A and B are shown apart, each in its own frame.
Chain A
Amino acid sequence: MTALKGTATFRRFFIGGQPQKGFREKALRSINARRFMPTKDAEGVAFGWVPLTDALADHLGPEDVFVGELVCLGFRRDEKVLRAADVRDELKLRVRELQFEKGRRLSRDERAALKDAIVFELRARAPIRRKVAELVWNPEKAEVRLYGASKQMAQACGELFARTFELAMEESEVAGLMVRLGVDLATLKGDTVPLSGPIASVTMPARELEAAHG
């Protein structure tokens, strides 16, 4: 499941270029400038780089990041989980109390302001959902393997990667692979026989086939 053990399940990305010589020192500064910082009360989401093998560390040294020719990073994303049902219940309760105190119904604006205050308050003590994806970058091959990342997380990681290293990170697909292999799709269009289509030598009705195999 991870870069270190188990079945290797990952997303493959192509990197839009190779880093310049002597990039390590600069990269390390840039990584530490974007290291993970815990979420503040008012924020719902926080993300940043952590050492691949220690998601709780607050600093990344060269020994954490550079493994042989590879660049290894953890991408940590913390999200405060706020249940809509909790907000709804709390709002209902407070509205009831305030209406009783004031002796009148609350206006729409008052309700909206109250809801914002409740969200702020509940978020401050909401549990945190932590996710860590593992990134292994081979600069020579200009490829990244990202382990344990959903599509949303991969997107956030790609954006942070681009800001950190000033290199684009694009998820692999056949079209991109063909560009890397130096094959032009236009040269393959319409000039070959497609594989699909009926086979002349077999003229067998479907029901005959079904009968043959029950």
Chain B
Amino acid sequence: MAEMNVSPEYLGAEFLTFLWHAGESGEELQVGEHVVRVSVGQHLKLRSMDGSGSDVVIKGEHAHRAPELFVALWRGAMVVQAKVQLDINGTVLSGALKSDNLTFNGVKLPKVEEQDAGPRVEKGEKPGENAEIDRQALADEAAIIDRSAMLELAQGVVDAWFEQFLKERNSRKHQAWVAAVRKWVAGSIQGMVDGKLPS
């Protein structure tokens, strides 16, 4: 097999393809004290890295099992955009990843619960006078801090997983993964010919 130079965009797409496979094979990652599981689906966009052919985009609940995606993989395409669900110690965050920046974006975050903090009362001010404003300001502060913490946690996990992926890329583990993906794709296509949908 011919070797090729890798670009950052190529590595991003390869990583997303890796994530998809990791989700399908139930792989876990230990990031610090967090155990992370990933699930890729609902929206997948595959593109041939040599610029040939057109993009393959599949949306829907079972998008990740669409035969068209496996045919595209077989022809050398890789994932350039995907909806991703991260399960971090049981906290599930859904968002999207693009291969060109790997920013976990479009994230659906759980609503921040209102904290039971009393309003601040300034000198010479009657209690309750500015209570509504203070309560709103506190709620805004809590929302910014909580949402930022969740986004940073999710992005930290993606970055850590990407770092690990890159560091293992020259190892035998990576070659084993490439072989596993080939087997997975070949098996899925064989299954399609036999009349079964990819599992």
| A, B from the same assembly | yes
Number of interface residues of A (CB under 8 A): 51
> Are the CB atoms of B145 and A68 closer together than 8 Å?
yes
Contact partner, B189, options A12, A67, A173, A202, Cβ 8 Å? A202
User: A74: shortest Cβ distance to chain B, in Å?
Assistant: 12
Number of interface residues of B (CB under 8 A): 63
The answer for the CA separation of A208 and B192 in the assembled complex, in Å, is 11
In the complex, what residue of chain B is closest to A177 when comparing beta carbons?
A: B102
Contact partner, B169, options A8, A143, A192, Cβ 8 Å? A192
In the complex, what residue of chain A is closest to B49 when comparing beta carbons?
A: A196
> Are the CB atoms of A188 and B143 closer together than 8 Å?
no
> Are the CB atoms of B1 and A193 closer together than 8 Å?
yes
User: B195: shortest Cβ distance to chain A, in Å?
Assistant: 7
Report A172-214 CB contacts with B as 1/0, cut-off 8 Å: 1111011001010101111111111111011010001100110
B-side interface mostly: helix
Instruction: Taking A7-B109, A172-B103, A177-B101 as given, write out 19 further A-B residue pairs in contact, using a Cβ cutoff of 8 Å, ordered by the A residue number.
Output: A3-B144, A7-B107, A7-B108, A8-B109, A8-B151, A12-B103, A52-B144, A70-B144, A145-B151, A173-B101, A174-B101, A174-B102, A178-B11, A181-B159, A187-B170, A195-B14, A196-B77, A197-B1, A197-B76
Can you offer 7 A-B residue contacts whose CB atoms are under 8 A?
Answer: A4-B144, A8-B105, A143-B152, A190-B5, A192-B3, A193-B1, A209-B189
